[in-house]
Homo-oligomer: A and B are copies of this chain.
């Protein structure tokens, strides 16, 4: 298949997500989108590219040109952009398109875009005819370091984010760092929130490295981006390999997310970017950790400072505390209304801890003043 060879310098790193017979690679490099050889497609399978209206004009043609050149059968579906597109309604519409094009169980879906496209296309792949294959080609930093890796797929319900979903691992994640060149600055910063998170929960050295390289990272230095993405993927791959279905340690990846999801949901999806809400959520979780005698004041401040340095919001939003806590209560990690938060014992050391609802309310009320 194919008459070309990938220039070796295009692939920078390869990270394996070890999951038995569902093991797959995360391939990281530059200008990989048009390198079909990496995709491992079979000429006998139909290919459906799902993307959005923002990513489509930038990168869709790079894939379709390559697919056309090699004679693959393919078509593309372009959705509108934004978190509101992650809906059950869109699942029905996309399935309708697949059925009308007689897409079979052996087809391959390619999710080309950010977290919204990846989550929606991945969920469609997980339920279409009870599950078909898919590839993740994430084009935002957030998707590259987080949502495209680990097989979590979902759509939103009006009563909660990611409440309808599935664990469905991709066959491969193809990370083209060149796509970060066109990423709006606000989205780049939002992506860094998840990168910071990995340092907070599992790698103090990485956290320090991030502190020392904020400027290079915000200036999109190729080498720095490559390392930040690779290290994030390595940490996520390791966590997912140990606990695919979040029975246990995978929950640590939700550091900052319980507060963050509630902020996103209460503000209305799309008002806060996911990473912005997670960044602020990490500040809250770190402060609560400190108040509960877990991390020291210095670590707490380092977290607040790094979030601020990456240009993410650090000021309390104008939100009703009771409503916020109610939003937190529908969190998937809560058992029988017993709130569990990811808190820090140290930089690089996270733990799941039960905190009762009243304590959270009191903490937030004090925080606001």
Chain B residues whose C-beta falls within 8 Å of the C-beta of A91 in the assembled complex: 88, 164
Say yes or no: B164 contacts A127, CB within 8 Å: yes
The residues in A between 74 and 103 inclusive whose CB is less than 8 angstroms from any CB of B are 88, 91-92, 95-96, 99-100, 102
Chain B residues whose C-beta falls within 8 Å of the C-beta of A105 in the assembled complex: 332-333, 335
Say yes or no: A46 contacts B336, CB within 8 Å: yes
Chain B residues whose C-beta falls within 8 Å of the C-beta of A152 in the assembled complex: 130
Say yes or no: B334 contacts A165, CB within 8 Å: no
Chain B residues whose C-beta falls within 8 Å of the C-beta of A127 in the assembled complex: 127, 164-166
Q: Mark A328-339, 1 if CB is under 8 A from B, else 0.
A: 011011111100
> Residue of B at shortest CB range from A165?
B130
Cβ-defined partner of A157 (8 Å) among B99, B131, B332, B334: B99
Oligomeric state, in number of copies? Answer: 2
Say yes or no: A163 contacts B128, CB within 8 Å: yes
The residues in A between 135 and 166 inclusive whose CB is less than 8 angstroms from any CB of B are 152, 154, 157-160, 162-166
Say yes or no: B159 contacts A99, CB within 8 Å: yes
14 contacts between A and B (CB under 8 A): A95-B157, A95-B163, A99-B330, A104-B335, A106-B336, A126-B166, A127-B164, A128-B164, A129-B163, A129-B332, A130-B152, A130-B154, A130-B166, A130-B167
A359 CB-CB contact with B under 8 Å: no
A44 CB-CB contact with B under 8 Å: yes
Say yes or no: B166 contacts A102, CB within 8 Å: no
